[in-house]
Structure 1
């Protein structure tokens, strides 16, 4: 009780936009609580946590033979796309380059207004792929770029991203995502950002779900995704995704020097020795997995700009509080016998 009270004081004083948090260890729920009038049924826009879900879906598509290899060229999936004369770099970009954020783009800053105004975000992203940058250099692309992976999933599987995810990932984990969210104009999109308990998955007007943002989940949904990965792809005795993909996608393949973090396949690598990694989204949304400690931390948050670092909260306060929770309780019981 003391640990819980101390943790909640820290959350309320320094992490006030958190809406829900779940801590699992050895598959058991050690902590679950909701803030800001949220509940277990509340859904949150998890922003870039969506990217790590896309990573899992790419792995499932490979497992099922829809995609041959991450070394395939991205343009192999878009035979009707016309490359402009003289553009060679775009023709060399592979799925792996995109998954590791080492693909180059033509823009210095993301042209959000033009991008969101288009009906087809995948084609708009393809138009911006390549340029004079070098393949292999880390360049984090929050929104414009990952949508190409959504387009690849659609082309490879013949299904929408949401339908594919529902069949092979969400339904087995009893996660319900209601449907597509399509904005008719900028005003609708801006208004949506401010709403609470939003549901569904954002898609462009062509019906392709966003890959870099736009998915809405409950804290329990997020915890399930983390537990699936910790279980090396097994859920209720069924192999949902291969352990090889989980392990490969959650180890270092590139490095973000700006944030001093390694990057896997759309997962942030936190600690190699403990095999700790995380899906992290704007506003402080996190699915944190620590394989050595067999611990999951799912944090769902309401958006605020420049949210306080959740990794510090997890490493400094949450892990120490719960990693030896059973041992602490036993020592407390023995002391008071």
Structure 2
């Protein structure tokens, strides 16, 4: 490999993407590149923000494979029979699991997202259910960064009888050699802010009821992230074991909805980057990303600290990383 080209890449990272903590590149399942920045190393774990959603997508697939969930078209309220629908509220009754997975469920908020009320609530699932529905249109794409995916955590718990972390550990993390040690519960705003900048916490954020977040809150290493990408590259197979079905992998990678404003296609909590090359990505704030390109058999994972107005990690991958490693 031309070390001068790699040096130029690292110079670009240090100058223009200086919040990156680590990056791993796999080709045909083999590690071609592994590099850490900002005093991080291969034991560092960072908050990967919305990459968490794509992990939840895998867990939903596993739950369906195992028969815990019957259909992607089940109504959300089927899983919450004790939930009392407010008088006159009809939309929520027709929202399906597929709507949650494809960001096509309506919510009772627009630009003024009630983050403070959400974070200070004891029950994030109920808080989100209370916001589901309203006058919005079912089937129209509405990206929900935080408030929304927690309902999927509630559905996993209701259907499997396990916590999300326990179910993930048994069926996904342990088989892949990924360690997520424990729940992380915040007792103050300061604890949450510190968590967002930490590189030594192994865990998954949970509310005071022990329900893990669905849209954010998981910490992973770049190597952990690369393993998830390789799992999808392998169409759900890992060391001879089918972790999640080929059918779910294929369905996850199809365009089910589209964010027209950003010109981005969406599968089941995965972004569709290039349909012809079967390239998809899990993306989180700060430039956290798991990218895989099935045609080129390449996986790139980037773990990064949150910063405002960071440069596009996908652009870095497509224009500067993939060209270096795709023919190696």
For each residue in 1:150-204, what CA deviation from the matched residue of structure 2 results, as whole angstroms up to 9, or x when unmatched? Answer: 0000000000000000000000001000100011233322332233322200000
Match of 1:35 in 2: 37
2:204 is equivalent to residue 204 of structure 1? no
| Gap regions ≥5 residues in structure 2 | none
* DSSP-derived class of the 1:171 partner: helix
Distance 2:26 2:191 in 1: 37
Distance 1:235 1:306 in 2: 36
1:10 to 6, 9, 12: 12
For each residue in 1:12-33, what CA deviation from the matched residue of structure 2 results, as whole angstroms up to 9, or x when unmatched? Answer: 1111111100000111111110
Contact 1:22 1:29 survives alignment (8 Å): yes
Distance 1:319 1:194 in 2: 28
Deviation, 1:250, is 1.2
Q: How does 1:283-322 map onto structure 2 within 5 Å?
A: 283-322=286-325
Contact 2:21 2:305 survives alignment (8 Å): yes
Distance 1:190 1:38 in 2: 19
Structure 2 length-normalised TM = 0.98
Deviation, 1:123, is 0.2
Distance 2:122 2:67 in 1: 30
Deviation, 1:62, is 0.1
Deviation, 1:323, is 0.8
Structure 1 length-normalised TM = 0.95
Contact 2:47 2:195 survives alignment (8 Å): no
Contact 2:255 2:266 survives alignment (8 Å): yes
Match of 2:82 in 1: 80
Contact 1:117 1:185 survives alignment (8 Å): no
* DSSP-derived class of the 2:300 partner: strand
Q: How does 1:92-171 map onto structure 2 within 5 Å?
A: 92-108=94-110, 109-171=112-174
Moved more, 191-200 or 278-287: 191-200
Contact 2:179 2:202 survives alignment (8 Å): no
| Gap regions ≥5 residues in structure 1 | 326-337
2:29 is equivalent to residue 23 of structure 1? no
Distance 1:194 1:43 in 2: 10
Match of 2:226 in 1: 223
Deviation, 1:7, is 1.0
Larger Rg: 1
Distance 1:158 1:273 in 2: 39
Moved more, 191-200 or 314-323: 191-200
Contact 2:236 2:246 survives alignment (8 Å): yes
Distance 1:148 1:271 in 2: 29
Deviation, 1:3, is 2.3
RMSD: 0.8
Contact 1:51 1:211 survives alignment (8 Å): yes
1:177 to 180, 203, 206: 180
Distance 2:97 2:33 in 1: 38
Match of 1:268 in 2: 271
Q: How does 1:254-265 map onto structure 2 within 5 Å?
A: 254-265=257-268
Count of equivalent residues: 325
Contact 1:57 1:165 survives alignment (8 Å): yes
Distance 2:197 2:15 in 1: 22
Match of 2:47 in 1: 45
For each residue in 1:231-270, what CA deviation from the matched residue of structure 2 results, as whole angstroms up to 9, or x when unmatched? Answer: 0000000000001101101111000112111000000000
2:56 is equivalent to residue 54 of structure 1? yes
